[in-house]
Amino acid sequence: MTTEAVKTDVVDIEEAKLTREQEHEKKRAAALAMGGTRKLEVRAAKGELNARERIGLLLDPGTFRESGLFVTSAVPADRDKTPADGKITGTGEVDGRRASVVAYDFTVKGSSSSPISNKKMAHFKELVVKTGQPLVYLSESTGVRMPDAMGGTGMGSASGKTRFLRQRESPWASAAFGYCFGSAAWHTMASDFAVFRKGAVLAVSSPNLVARATGQQVDAQELGGWKMHAEVTGFADAVADTDEEAIELVRRFLSYLPSHNGETPPLAPIPHGSGERAEEIKSIVPESRTQTYDVRKVIDIIADTGSVFPIKARYGKSLVTSLARIGGQSVGIIANNSMFKGGALDGAACDKATSFLVLCDSYNIPVVMLVDQPGFLIGLEAERSKVAGKIINWMNALSLVTVPKIAVTMRKNYGQALINMGGGGTADATAGWWSSEVSFMDPTSAVSVVYGIDKETDPEMYELRLAEMNKGTTAYDVAQVFGFEQVIDPSETREFILGALKDHYRARSNGVGEHLLRTWPTSF
């Protein structure tokens, strides 16, 4: 071969190589462009982040490793119109810990789901189980895509055997940003934590389809808006004003949890000043059982400074559920709040408690109960809301919890709800404030029930019987039969909890529980 021929071959190879590089860059740029400049500009004008911007906020800078960038629809006519097939997926780090992410790209056919994008998402569901890392959904979708799923062929090829199997091997978190139909709704419902940005709508079907199928004209927010899910269904664990706030709430939620259920949550530094306000509790909680107060103020004092993270704050308000840290350790706090319904426990509060116990037990988070309750809410409405079944669900779940359970009775503790709130041996460590009162029901009600006497008709006899009913109800009476391990000054509450956490740390299993609640339904 002549020298000139060799030079020509080298030039041809270099040109072919350059062409391949250019072709790769062209395809890559097209995928990264998502639904195109115009659609992205419309979103930006409305103050909504696009899918890639959301990922950028969720993950630590420079850690995102994308998988499936060059995936497109299997429908030939849509291949050039479906970059990444509407789902941006990959791995990265959240506060230095590995995590996987599925971000719905609404600029690509409304982020509708096809068999191909479902395959991408399924890969990461399997990955997090194998590797032990959280999975985050950044959700916004119009639902299933047509014609990809049309007809018997489309539906017959669907795989659902393990698609929504949740055994809580690792945490799932979801942020619902806009319309969430189809898999965006299902993944949100299957998550351990769901934050709704204001304006989001999550429902089985869109308002348009509901109108066509039923003839009902429904408002989107009324059908499945963020407010409905925060206050009526309880599906929203938190609510955010903006995309940025929603993503920050996801990051913060994950900070309280382990990466997987085979380890304990990470310890955090104890902020300066934590525990120094203990004496203030006495000025917050009135000794009179009929006076109301906000138990959230008590929680703020007991927990490490700035560490309280409310869960379902707008739902079942007579019961507070919050993640927090005490001594740097993640805990789950369940507390009665007399500001709402006098602290009486209704069906919503029962569901809220059960859901929270499942979360804590699944991820090795000790449970702390702060008790001040008059019992379960009774009446026609309560029974129609299936409160009896919800009460037993709570009792069943509590019996299955294998993480440490600590219960402190602050003021009053009446009736069957005593069992649900850690009494009767259902907690590992128990204490009562020296001013607390325990009985089968509020003594003022008991007089009327047992003796048929009320204060107005026979005040002298009423007071006599009330004195009888009040006997044997003090914290010391409970402690006499070891119903309380300790009777404490209210200001000693944090120290009691810290000591109980040390005593009941499961050293033989490195703090890891048995996860008997791991397959409990994610929504009920």
Mapping DSSP to helix (H, G, I), strand (E, B) and coil, where does residue 468 land?
Answer: helix
> Looking at the DSSP assignment, which residues form a beta bridge with residue 376?
345
In this structure, how many other beta carbons lie within 10 angstroms of the beta carbon of residue 33? 13
Say if residue 37 is exposed, middle or buried (CB neighbours under 10 Å; 0-12, 13-18, 19+): exposed
Structure confidence at residue 194 (pLDDT): 98
Find, among 424, 464, 462, 418, the residue nearest to 440 by Cα: 418
Structure confidence at residue 438 (pLDDT): 86
Structure confidence at residue 42 (pLDDT): 93
Contacts of 57 (CB under 8 A, 6+ apart): 49, 243, 244, 247, 248
Per-residue pLDDT of the chain (524 residues; tens, 9 = 90+): 555 555 555 556 665 666 888 889 998 998 899 889 999 999 999 989 999 999 999 999 999 999 999 998 888 888 888 989 999 999 999 999 999 999 999 999 988 888 888 899 999 999 999 999 999 999 999 888 876 665 555 555 555 556 778 899 999 999 999 999 989 999 999 999 999 999 999 998 777 777 677 777 878 888 889 999 999 999 999 999 999 999 999 999 999 999 999 999 999 999 999 999 999 999 999 988 889 999 999 999 999 999 999 999 999 999 999 999 999 999 999 999 999 998 889 999 999 999 999 999 999 999 999 999 988 888 888 888 899 999 999 999 999 999 999 999 999 998 889 999 999 999 999 999 999 988 866 656 555 556 566 777 777 766 676 666 667 689 999 999 999 999 999 999 999 999 999 999 999 999 999 999 999 998 87
482, containing H or E segment: none
Mapping DSSP to helix (H, G, I), strand (E, B) and coil, where does residue 493 land?
Answer: helix
Secondary-structure percent of the chain, ordered helix, strand, coil, rounded to 5: 45, 20, 40
Going from the C-alpha of 447 to that of each of 268, 443, 444, 481, the distances in angstroms are 50, 6, 6, 25
Structure confidence at residue 414 (pLDDT): 87
Contacts of 206 (CB under 8 A, 6+ apart): 142, 143, 179, 181, 220
Structure confidence at residue 49 (pLDDT): 96
Report the alpha-carbon distance of residue 393 to residue 411 in Å, rounded. Answer: 25
Structure confidence at residue 324 (pLDDT): 98
Structure confidence at residue 112 (pLDDT): 86
Structure tokens at 106: 């609404």
Provide the whole-model pTM: 0.90
Q: CA-based angle 329:190:405, to the nearest 5?
A: 30
Question: Residue 82, Cα to own-chain centre: how many angstroms?
Answer: 32
